[in-house]
Amino acid sequence: DEELELLVVAARHDTLTRELVTACDREGIRIVPVGDGETPARLAQAFGLGVPMSPRASGRELVRALRDPLPVAPVPRNRRRVIAVWGAAGSPGRSTIAIELAVELARDRDVALIDADSHAPSIALALGLPDEGPGFAAACRQVNRGALDVAELDRIALRLGRGPQVLTGINRPSRWPELREDRVRAALSICREWVDDTVVDVAAPLDRDEEIVSDLAGGRRNAATIAALQEADLVVAVAGADPVGISRFVRGYAQLRETVGATPIAVVANRLRPGALGIDARGQVRRSLDRFAGIRDVWFVPQDPRSADAALLAARPIADVARRSPIVSGVRRFVSEALAVDTRKAA
């Protein structure tokens, strides 16, 4: 049987639906929207499908649409950015990537690292910072009082040596109602005035909870994650580079794309090692993500347990305790390519 690779569909509300996009993402089918005018363009953009093709496009143009990759658009360097780091269920290493990403960016930019994980925050523990301090929850409370500004962020943040400023996460899971969606959005908006880059570590679950709660006006456990993802200029999606990690990532990717719309997503396959995948581990990851999620561009961060353990023991970033670690090199390459930042100073 031949596998379907490309679906050409009219960009209309009755044909280009959430169910269709989810099914195509699950089966690894590329969608090419077709339509003229502003409405088809907005609909296609909402699903992250790019500009619709003209109904008068030739067959050759359709073939080219299948062959051409979907590049991640680099976020301009001179722009104040919010970068959300998300990973599927399990432990793909998104907090490690968020920390190392913030440290790498902080070499020549003003950077903030925020722990907005409402399920299992870990940045304070990983970096040896006190979790009883004000942190991101305090920033959200100050938003509610109309008192959050750049000076207040400077006051409540913790400086990580010469690296990023850190807003730690909640120290008890029961405090998640403090991270309301409107407060998170407002806090991140003020962060754009505060620093050049704001790196936000978020939780894995993306469910909006409406189907499992009766109080629709109440808070949502995943509100902080959804708000951060939708406010982001770029989403860094972390997949564990092993069969279980890739399977979980593919299942979660469709929901992630639905959540963020047209926001660029850069995919990082973390903890790459041949032992879990055998020969040509990179190629296997690339082919799997291409086939089952339509993802063509992937960055790789190798596994280096010795350096990761040393950093955890010292409660410091890996870049501080093992500058030559393959993890540091992989993150540096990602920053220079996906974020268009010159990292030669760190070489």
pLDDT per residue as tens digits for the range 291-320: 999 898 999 999 999 999 999 999 999 999
Nearest Cα neighbor of 98 from 272, 235, 298 is: 235
Q: What is the 3-state secondary structure (H, E, C) of 141-161?
A: HHHHHCCCCHHHHHHHCEECC
pTM of the model: 0.77
What mean pLDDT do residues 82-93 have? 95
* Block residue for tokens 């991270």: 179
Contact assessment for residue 122 and residue 171, using Cβ atoms and an 8 Å cutoff: no
Range from 14-28, 54-68, 122-136 that averages highest in pLDDT: 122-136
Pairwise CA distance, residues 233 & 224, whole Å: 16
Show the tokens assigned to 15.
């044909």
* Phi, psi values for residue 163, rounded to 5°: -90, -145
Neighbours of 37 (CB within 10 A): 9
**Residues written for the chain:** 347
- The H or E element that residue 115 is part of is strand 111-115
Neighbours of 194 (CB within 10 A): 20
Give the Cα-Cα-Cα angle 228, 206, 166 (nearest 5 degrees): 35
| Residue 347: predicted pLDDT | 37
Show the tokens assigned to 346.
């760190």
| pLDDT tens for each residue of 123-162 | 999 999 997 777 999 999 999 899 999 999 999 999 998 8
Mean pLDDT, the chain, integer? 87
Pairwise CA distance, residues 182 & 224, whole Å: 9
Gyration radius (Cα) of the chain, Å: 20
| Residue 132: predicted pLDDT | 78
| Torsional sign, CA 321, 326, 332, 334 | negative
Pairwise CA distance, residues 163 & 29, whole Å: 42
pLDDT at 94 over 80: yes
Q: How confident is the model at residue 209 (pLDDT cuts 50, 70, 90)?
A: low
